[in-house]
Amino acid sequence: MAQLGQRKCLCCAGFFLPDHRNRKRQRYCSAVACRRASKSASQAAWLSQADNAGYFRGPVHVARVQAWRAEHPGYSRGRPRRGRALQETSSVQVPDPIEQSADRGESAATSAALSLQDHWTALPPALAGLIAHVFELTLQEDIAATVRRLVQLGDDVIKRRHGGQDDQARAAAAAVASGAAAVQLD
């Protein structure tokens, strides 16, 4: 049974939602076989009209096609046509932060922290989109700061898992080790 807004395909008889831009005229679904059937039905309907029956026939059209073929020799011979490159390919030049910092008189850590674009391109687009969506951020600087904070948090979690302790756990362990009594704070 069709749901609201669905149509029955004239080829496969399955129900589909027509495209919103062509809702009034779409009679076939988007399956490959149905699209082919739609095309052949459309061509047959066009050719069945009296004005269109001999549209591509006659000496005028023969002369037009012959003139076009003379202007474009070798077009229909099946040779692969290779397009010209629109621009030259350039090799990637990655700057060495140590050389740059030595030239400018600053440390490599400072120059690495300032190059937002270098770190930004290493972030997968899906992860950048997820961070932007979850934290409702739009600026690259804000997203980069959030990424740095998340990476630091992840490092802290991994360090705890592998035996590292945070400050509160160390203080509690030191208090128990020294024999101090536990104090309840309200």
Average pLDDT over residues 112-141: 72
The more confident residue out of 169 and 158 is 158
The model's pLDDT over 61-70, given as tens digits with 9 standing for 90+, comes to 889 889 999 9
Residue 108 lies in a domain: no
CB-based burial, 141-161: b 16+ in 10 Å, e otherwise? eebbeebeeeeeeeeeeeeee
The more confident residue out of 29 and 130 is 29
Q: What pLDDT is recorded for position 44?
A: 93
Average pLDDT over residues 22-43: 94
Show which of 72, 87, 106 is a domain's final residue.
72
Q: How many domains does the chain have?
A: 2
Residue 94 lies in a domain: no
Residue 2 lies in a domain: no
Q: Phi and psi (nearest 5°) for 7?
A: -125, 160
In terms of residue numbers, what domain contains 45?
A: 7-72
Residue 109 lies in a domain: no
Show which of 51, 72, 93 is a domain's final residue.
72
**Listed residue (46, 11, 9) closest to 27, CA to CA:** 9
Q: What pLDDT is recorded for position 115?
A: 57
* Beta pairing partners, 8: 15
Average pLDDT over residues 106-121: 53
Q: Residue 172 pLDDT more than 80?
A: no
The more confident residue out of 90 and 79 is 90
Residue 18 lies in a domain: yes
Measured between alpha carbons, how far apart are the two ends of the chain, in Å?
65
Residue 167 lies in a domain: yes
Residue 103 lies in a domain: no
Co-location of 67 and 120 in the same domain: no
Q: Residues with Cβ < 8 Å from 176, sequence gap 6 or more? A: 182
Residue 164 lies in a domain: yes
Show which of 57, 72, 87 is a domain's final residue.
72
The more confident residue out of 133 and 182 is 133
